[in-house]
Amino acid sequence: MSAKISKLNHNFGIAGQILFRDAGDGFIVIDIKNSFCNATIAVQGAHLMTWNPKGQKPVIWMSPVAKLAPGKSIRGGVPICWPWFGAHASEPSYSGHGFARTVAWDVIDTAALDNGSTFVAFRIAEVNKEQWPYNAPAEMYMTIGATLEMELVTDNLGSREITVGDALHTYFCVSDVSKSTIRGLDGCDYLDKVGPAARRTQQGDITIGSEVDRIYLDQGQDVVIEDPGLKRAIRIEKRGSNSTIVWNPWIEKCIKMGDFGSDDGYLGMVCVESANAAEDVVKLAPGDSHRLWVRYSVE
Ligand SMILES: O=P(O)(O)OC[C@H]1O[C@@H](O)[C@H](O)[C@@H](O)[C@@H]1O
């Protein structure tokens, strides 16, 4: 075992509950086990990869061919988009969805909570100073148990106002996306990113039968993914998030992207992302914090 992993286990491991290990070529992941669930987190990107509540099929989708490598994003799980979502507002050469998901994060705290859940906290360790020349780091807190809670915090420690965009780009598992329904967005305006850019209004619940890539604006209510095939619903509660992105690449993009595991890999997933994107980006005054919080539960 490498000295780095031994140190992490010494400082932050908890016997029977939190174990740091090498997932290959020095890529460090954390295995979480408690009486409610199993989960896995990549330390790079503070990227939750799996969350399997006991007695449930996996809730979070992970590509069977996802690559775990330094500086590469992982297809599946909960990528953190920060400090912007999608394309950068003015610099097209900057990475889509920001740099947070592909850089090193530090583990700063862990705990076995009294209620049986497991807590892990991270702080971004490698801010791209050229792309984010502010004293405004990010932290991520995860509480992993019968429900999964995640909170992404941006602290403006500098002396000028900053603008931040963010998203928890969560890939959810569904038995068949074409037979699932997404509730909670009826009546919301959205930016449609498929075809010529357009602003539309959602009528009724969402069903997916072709590529979907939408930013729902001014949206704060719970969103529920109903999956009759698995006889379950996944509830997404959130605070500090005014946008929701719904994304499924459908067949052509899935084949083109090539990292979904199979040509029909897109059928088993849907991204419902709690975000602050497009016109919902957050202006943060000096000394202020912005907290994007979500809780996922299975009903
Ligand atoms: O391939 P990436 O960078 O992880 O992005 C995947 C998708 O992420 C979604 O959030 C975007 O709305 C899509 O446009 C994008 O294709």
Q: What is the CATH number of the domain that holds 112?
A: 2.70.98.10
Of all atoms in ligand 1, which is nearest to the CA of residue 213? Answer: 12
User: 105-111: long-range contacts (C-beta < 8 A, 24 or more apart)?
Assistant: 105/43, 105/44, 105/45, 105/46, 105/140, 107/8, 107/11, 107/12, 107/30, 107/43, 108/139, 109/12, 110/12, 110/13, 110/14, 110/18, 111/14
The neighbouring-strand residues paired with 71 are none
Which of 78, 95, 97 to mutate for ligand 1's pocket (most ligand atoms within 8 Å of CB)? 97
Q: Is 280 in the pocket of ligand 1 (CB under 6 A)?
A: no
Per-residue pLDDT of the chain (299 residues; tens, 9 = 90+): 699 999 999 999 999 999 999 999 999 999 999 999 999 999 999 999 999 999 999 999 999 999 999 999 999 999 999 999 999 999 999 999 999 999 999 999 999 999 999 999 999 999 999 999 999 999 999 999 999 999 999 999 999 999 999 999 999 999 999 999 999 999 999 999 999 999 999 999 999 999 999 999 988 999 999 999 999 999 999 999 999 999 999 999 999 999 999 999 999 999 999 999 999 999 999 999 999 999 999 99
> Is the beta carbon of 101 within 6 A of some atom in ligand 1?
no
Q: Using a 6 Å cutoff on CB, does residue 245 contact ligand 1?
A: yes
Say how many domains are in the chain. Answer: 1
Residue 138's contacts (CB-CB under 8 Å, 6 or more residues apart) are 80, 82, 83, 100, 123, 124, 152, 153, 154
96 lines ligand 1 (CB under 6 A): yes
The H or E element containing residue 255 is: helix 250-257
> To test the ligand 1 pocket, which listed residue (213, 259, 269, 273) has its Cβ within 8 A of the most ligand atoms?
213
Distance CA 225, CA 88 (A): 29
Query: Which residues have a Cβ under 8 Å from the Cβ of 244 and sit 6 or more positions away?
Result: 185, 188, 215, 216, 219, 223, 272, 273, 274, 275
Ligand 1 and 166: CB distance under 6 A: no
pTM of the model: 0.98
CA distances from 258 to 3, 170, 251, 255 (A): 35, 19, 11, 5
Q: Which residue has the tokens 């780009």?
A: 169
What is the domain extent for residue 78? 3-298
Among 101, 247, 276, 280, name the best residue to mutate to test ligand 1's pocket (greatest count of ligand atoms within 8 A of Cβ).
Answer: 247
d(CA 218, CA 146): 29
Beta strands in 54-117 (DSSP E): 80-81, 105-112
Q: Could you give the 3-state DSSP secondary structure of residue 298?
A: strand
**Which value does ipTM take for this structure?**
0.98
- Counting from 1 in the atom list of ligand 1, the atom nearest the Cα of 193 is 14
